[in-house]
Amino acid sequence: MTQLPNAACKTHRWPQKFPLGLMLVLPWLIQMAGLAGLIGYFSHRAGQRAVERLAVQLMAEMGQRVEQSLEDYLTLSEPIHRLTQTELHDGTLNWGDRPQLEAALVQQLRLFPTLSAITLTLKPGQVLSVERFSTDHYHVYWVDPSQSDAAQWHELEIQGDRRSVFRTSTLPEPTASLHQSSTLLTQAANWRVVPVAQANADQAAVLYRSLLYDATGQVQGAIATFMPLTNIDQFLQTLNLGEEASVFLIDSEGAVLATSAPALPNALTLASQTLSPWSTLRRPSHPPSLAEVAVQQVIAPPSQSTEAQPVTVLWQQQRYLAAVTPLASHIDLPWQIVTLMPEAGLIADIHTNRNHILGLALVKLGLAGAIATLMTRYISRPIRALNQAIQQITHEDYDLSLPDTPIHELSELEQGISQMAQQIQTVFDNAESALRVSQEKFAKIFRMSPGASSITVLDTGRLIEMNQSYCDLLGHEHCYLVGQTTLALGLWPNVETRQRYIAQLREQGSLRQIEMEFRHASGDRRTGLLFAEKIQLWGRDCILSVIHDITDRKQSEAALAQSERRLRLLTDALPVYISYIDTQERYQFVNKIHESQFGLSSAAICGQLVRQVIGESNYAIVREHLQTGLAGHLVQQEITLTDVEHRPRIYSLVLVPDVDERQQVQGVYGLITDISDIKQTEAALRQSQARNLAILSALPDLMLIISKDGVYQDSIRRSAMDVIPAEINPVGRPISDFLEPAQAAQKLSAVQRAIATGQMQVYEQALQVNRQLQYEEVRVVPYSEQAALVILRDITHRKRAEAALSESEERFRFAFDCAGLGMTIVGLDGRFLKVNQALCEIVGYTETELLSMTFLDVTYLDDLDKTLDIDYQLLDGKIRDYQIEKRYVHKRGHVIWVLLSVALVTDADKKPLYFIEQIQDISDRRAIEDIKTEFVSIVSHELRTPITAIQGSIGLLQSGIYAAQPEKTATMLDIATQECDRLVRLVNDILDLERLNSGKVTLQQTRCDVSATLNRAIGAMEAIAHAAQITLEVSATAAYIWADPDTIVQTLTNLLSNAITFSPPGSTIRIAARPVNLFPPVMDASPPIESTPQSLVQPMVQFSIQDQGRGIPSDKLGIIFERFQQVDASDARQQGGTGLGLAICKTIVTQHGGAIWVTSEVGVGSTFYFTIPALCPNESY
Amino acid sequence: MPQRILLIEDEARIRAVVQACLEDLGGWEVQLAESGTEGLNLAIQQLFDVILLDISMPDIDGFQIYNTLQATPRTQAVSIILLTAKTLPSDHDRFAQMDVAGIILKPFNPLLLCQQIRDILGWTE
């Protein structure tokens, strides 16, 4: 039974077991089917080959027949050629007689209806061509170059012998046949296929030509006959090739020329295809016709052999056999005859035959299968019965009933099996009775045994049987235990342990005295000794085991061991040398501490003599005490022994005699304690106390011990700072004897609080000592339950320093707050820590706002990097402080230039704390500098421009290149001169302006007549105005001014010069002067307000110069009085202006206490006004 | 084929002098522009070997012309020489940021002007 799984594994690869019936029937059927298939296949192949051979033969014959017939057909016209040659030769026909020739040709054409035309060509280029138009109509063409280049033609109708000429005309174009005829003499070939015109349709015809010779054998001309390909079609159809076979002619290029099969699918198109130029036939149509497919297949390998080689052509899912026969006759046309036969017609019978064979084979196969199945069932029935009988025997059922079988071998097999069954039954009966006796014996012994015996199955550990002792041992009922496993009962701690023992048991056959723990039903853990034997019971491996309970013994052993262990742990943990010494002065017990002391293990020390272990010198000290102890007296002593490193150490020695009940001393317990460290500590403590006292005495502080009720208990005196005179000892006296009542009360309260809370109390006090004010710091420390230590320190110096610092800080704060400069303290993170009012005013933020910002917030973005850079240098200690000019951004958004001085404040360790910064608003200074720079820049540029022109022109002149060019020389000189003038004017203007502005020149003010002044100015400008065709119109009232007349004239001429410059020719400039009452000028370049209040006004004379020029744009009105601020620079320069004229005017007028302004309208003109303080006519200075 | 030079300069007499130098001494072909606008139009419409550019001009100044020429693909590669009377350090800081072939300061020596241009552009005589 146990082998079964393995057997199953081996047969696992094969699918299943096959039934006997299938095994018998299946091979038989396969064989039958295979045979039938092979026979069918070979017969089919043989039939097919035979048919193919037949087809080839047939088609070859067909090809030859067609070839022969075609040759005959094509050569039909040969008699005409021969006849014509003969008649021309013997003079029956005359070369020159055209009507005779025409009649002969028409006659011949009528005789040969398969021909379509006959053409006669004569050597001088004459052509005579007769063509059949219909059965009775003929066209005759005639070309004679000696008469006319054009062809002539007429139509003939012939009915019987009557002929009538219908039309006669000349042809603009030669007909196709005529055209062909013209080449007859030059062509080499006798046979050709040519295109011809026939009945308004293009057709092809076979042309046959022969040359005509005269009597001397010279070529005289040629005759050609045309046979249309359609006629060949009809001829081929008449050949009667069979129902399905067809034939067609192809030329060497594969073009289909004629076909016999108009009924063939797509064959109708073949005839028309012959009409087209051949090459187009090569172009496959869609779908390709049968002819095309056949031609492609046939001519793919050009078939040169004369024998027809059939080719299979597949067209529209039908197979055709095609063969090619070349037209191998004396007709030199490169034609091939293609014969085509549908395969279906030939092979149909074979297919029918094949189907019959297939049917028969299937019927045969069915019959064979049925017979085989019946036979199999007949044979397999008795075999199945035998199989069933054997199954019965294995199930120990020996009462067999076997059927009768007619098969001899099976019948014998049945008898054998019956006999075997009977024998087996007898043997089994005998064995069973013997076994029963043996079992009874064993059971008795088993039950009676006093040991706890059991039988378990070896593999599973399941209990089969056990005696009463076993049940008692485990505390379970018999019925409970049977069937349980030893593992489940807790006889083994785990599976592994049991398996180990089982393995041992299998190997040795028995186990002896195995100590095991198991669980009693009450839950107690017990110990047993196991004896086990492997036995065979009922065919199985079993264990017969006996267990002795040894739990009690084990428990007492464990208790003893634990007690010893505890003692050992206790003694080992103690730092005391504990030993037991017997009367022989040998160690019987020592604790662990001895091991480290003597470098020996406890076991090694035990049994040795004391003197050997501790050494002779120590033994000499101990010996006396040991003997006293051994004499039965308790010994307690301090002794000094040397340790292993020979250092003296002090020990406390206690020896307790061990006296038994008979008062005999058995030994002595030794307890030796090392008290060297304790002794040393005591000494050190004493030293420390003395030292502390010395330190306390050296401290500068006054120390007192004051009791809870305010009485001095001790003091370390500092007479210099003590209120108690040095000669008085305060100990025992109340503090109120020496201190002011308030101070005494404060001190007492601090003392009491310190004692009550256990915490140090600190306060400061000021008191008069030696008639000086002294500051003291008082610290009260709890000392005991009743007293406190009071430490008094003189802090007078510190107090004074603090006061000085506070005063300094106050001074700094004042300086900071009230400084005229902006000041700030900036933290290392850039935050404003402190700002003063001046800074707030510079940047426009309030103090609160600034304190929430960093200096980065107010720094102009472009200056940020510069500032940070230098700040880092400061932080790195590379520089101590710095001063830079940088830009801040005002709260309102404009930029302020400041001069910033920064210093870094550090602590004593050079650690940076913060920056102190001083900020000075230098915007005004910067603005002035910017103006100055710009002015210098402009002046430099304005000066360089004329100098460039001067240097350039003079340099060119100097080089001499214009020596021969007076015009160029003049130009250059002109440039130089004009630019020199400009330069002079510019320099003068600049100097004037500088003189006026610097204040170095004072105005030579006198009483001036306005009219006279105006006239001077006009007189200077009149010539220029005249040259510019401009009229000057003056209107002046009599008035006087207090002024420098030259400068006023200069102002007027400047303004007039401008007006003339920008006025168009023919216009008028109006100059006027009138007295006015005006406020003193308050704004530049804007008209002052005319007013009446006499007290505020000043009498002035207002000059005005009005032009009709182009005017000034309003945005320029404000700046034209600035330096170099022309309205249109290039224009002004061309006019010779320097850009400084108006600035000079403004300066002059302003210095006179007047005002200058302009009103203007673009396109209309401008009016310049200026005022000068007036003088009353009678006023004089 | 003489070199073609565009001179953009608002001062008529300087224009005349420079033209004389370049044409009579250098033998080059000079096209004149009286204003920035005219100069810009000419520079974009025609091809020049070099543009001599004045900075201070009333309508469009030299900086604007330079920026426009740089931004126009057609004129990006044309060499530009500044011909200027601006000589202050602040002006030169600004010139340093421009990618021009060279700077000629006014006043210049007329006999050396051509050579200066040749040196700047690496032309041979």
pLDDT tens per residue, range A526-541: 888 888 888 887 778 8
Radius of gyration for chain B, computed over Cα atoms and rounded to the nearest angstrom: 13
- Across residues A1115-1133, what is the average pLDDT? 67
Q: What are A295-352's pLDDT values in tens digits?
A: 666 655 444 444 545 677 777 777 777 777 777 667 777 777 887 777 776 667 777 7
Note whether B24 contacts A: Cβ–Cβ < 8 A: yes
- Range among A36-45, A237-246, A551-560, A1100-1109 rated most confident: A1100-1109
Domains along chain B?
A: 4-121 (3.40.50.2300)
Interface contact flag, B56 A941, Cβ < 8 Å: yes
- CATH architecture of residue range(s) A232-347: 2-Layer Sandwich (3.30)
Single-letter amino acid code for the residue at B105? L
- Read off the pLDDT band of B32 (50, 70, 90): very high
Single-letter amino acid code for the residue at A836? N
- Across residues A884-911, what is the average pLDDT? 89
Interface contact flag, B20 A956, Cβ < 8 Å: yes
A28-32, A265-269, A926-930 — which is least confidently predicted?
A: A265-269
DSSP code at position A863 = G
Q: What are A115-168's pLDDT values in tens digits?
A: 888 888 877 778 888 888 777 788 888 777 777 766 777 777 776 656 666 666
Interface contact flag, A941 B35, Cβ < 8 Å: no
A173-187, A593-607, B53-67 — which is least confidently predicted?
A: A173-187
- Is the pLDDT higher at A504 or at B5? B5
The owner of tokens 């008449």 is A238
Q: What is the pLDDT of residue A590?
A: 87
- Across residues A743-771, what is the average pLDDT? 86
Q: How far apart are CA A842 and CA A175, in angstroms?
A: 120
The answer to whether A881 and A901 have CB atoms below 8 angstroms apart is yes
Q: What are A1023-1077's pLDDT values in tens digits?
A: 888 988 999 999 888 888 989 898 999 899 989 988 888 888 999 999 999 888 7
Q: What are A227-241's pLDDT values in tens digits?
A: 887 788 778 877 776
- Is the pLDDT higher at B95 or at A52? B95
A451-555: CATH topology: Beta-Lactamase (3.30.450)
Q: What is the pLDDT of residue A1104?
A: 93
Q: What is the pLDDT of residue A3?
A: 42
Q: How far is CA A339 from CA A259, A261, A323, in A?
A: 10, 11, 5
Superfamily for A819-921? Answer: PAS domain (3.30.450.20)
- Read off the pLDDT band of B82 (50, 70, 90): very high
Is B84 a residue whose pLDDT tops 80? Answer: yes
Residue A770: both structure tokens together:
């030696």
- Across residues A650-678, what is the average pLDDT? 87
Superfamily for A699-800? Answer: PAS domain (3.30.450.20)
All residues at 6 or more sequence positions from A1101 whose CB lies less than 8 Å from its CB, including other chains: A1010, A1039, A1041, A1073, A1074, A1075, A1076, A1171, A1172, A1173, A1174
Interface contact flag, B107 A1133, Cβ < 8 Å: no
- Across residues A462-473, what is the average pLDDT? 84
Q: Which of A180, A191, A196 is closest to A333 using CA atoms?
A: A191
- Is the pLDDT higher at A30 or at A293? A30
Residue A593: both structure tokens together:
């501490």
Q: How far apart are CA A597 and CA A610, in angstroms?
A: 14
- Work out the percent of chain A whose per-residue pLDDT is above 90: 7
- Which residues of chain A from 890 to 949 reach within 8 Å of chain B, CB to CB? 933, 936-937, 940-941, 944-945, 947-949
Q: What are A55-101's pLDDT values in tens digits?
A: 778 877 888 888 888 888 888 778 788 888 888 777 777 777 778 88
User: Which of A948, A971, A1125, A1133 is most worth mutating to test chain B (most B CB atoms within 10 A of its CB)?
Assistant: A948
Interface contact flag, A1130 B35, Cβ < 8 Å: yes
Is B124 a residue whose pLDDT tops 60? Answer: yes
- The domains of chain A are located at 85-228, 232-347, 451-555, 574-680, 699-800, 819-921, 1002-1175
User: How far is the alpha carbon of B84 from chain A, nearest alpha carbon, in Å?
Assistant: 9
CATH classification code of A85-228: 3.30.450
Q: Which of A1012, A1008, A1017, A1074 is closest to A1042 using CA atoms?
A: A1008
- Read off the pLDDT band of A179 (50, 70, 90): low
- Which residues of chain A from 1131 to 1150 reach within 8 Å of chain B, CB to CB? 1133-1134
- Across residues B10-20, what is the average pLDDT? 91
Query: What are phi and psi for residue B52, nearest 5 degrees?
Result: -95, 120
Q: Does the predicted interface ipTM exceed a cut of 0.85? A: yes
Which residues in chain B are contacts of A949 at CB distance < 8 A?
11, 13-14, 16-17
Q: Write the class of the CATH domain A1002-1175.
A: alpha beta
User: Which of A942, A956, A969 is most worth mutating to test chain B (most B CB atoms within 10 A of its CB)?
Assistant: A956
Q: How far apart are CA A122 and CA A109, in angstroms?
A: 19
DSSP 3-state of B84: strand
Note whether B58 contacts A: Cβ–Cβ < 8 A: yes
- Read off the pLDDT band of A2 (50, 70, 90): very low
Chain A: residue whose CA lies nearest to B110 = A952
Nearest to B110 among A947, A951, A1129 (CB): A951
Q: What is the pLDDT of residue A272?
A: 41
A819-921 with A1002-1175: one CATH topology? no
User: How far is the alpha carbon of A1027 from chain B, nearest alpha carbon, in Å?
Assistant: 23
Chain A: residue whose CA lies nearest to B15 = A949
Q: How far apart are CA A1142 and CA A370, in angstroms?
A: 142
Q: What are A987-1017's pLDDT values in tens digits?
A: 888 888 888 887 777 788 888 899 999 999 9
For chains A and B, count residue pairs whose Cβ atoms are closer than 8 Å. Answer: 89
Q: What are A250-288's pLDDT values in tens digits?
A: 777 767 777 776 544 333 343 344 434 433 333 444 555
Q: How far is CA A281 from CA A191, A277, A697, in A?
A: 21, 7, 144
Chain A: residue whose CA lies nearest to B34 = A1130
Note whether B11 contacts A: Cβ–Cβ < 8 A: yes
Chain B: residue whose CA lies nearest to A954 = B110
Interface contact flag, A1129 B58, Cβ < 8 Å: yes
Radius of gyration for chain A, computed over Cα atoms and rounded to the nearest angstrom: 78
The owner of tokens 């067209």 is A315
User: How far is the alpha carbon of A956 from chain B, nearest alpha carbon, in Å?
Assistant: 6
- Read off the pLDDT band of A777 (50, 70, 90): confident
Which residues in chain A are contacts of B91 at CB distance < 8 A?
937
User: How far is the alpha carbon of A963 from chain B, nearest alpha carbon, in Å?
Assistant: 13
The answer to whether A430 and A409 have CB atoms below 8 angstroms apart is no
User: How far is the alpha carbon of A1141 from chain B, nearest alpha carbon, in Å?
Assistant: 19
The answer to whether A503 and A458 have CB atoms below 8 angstroms apart is no
Q: Which of A761, A787, A554, A586 is closest to A670 using CA atoms?
A: A586
Which residues in chain A are contacts of B106 at CB distance < 8 A?
944-945, 947-948
User: Which of B17, B21, B60, B108 is most worth mutating to test chain A (most A CB atoms within 10 A of its CB)?
Assistant: B17
Residue A860: both structure tokens together:
């102009």
Superfamily for A574-680? Answer: PAS domain (3.30.450.20)
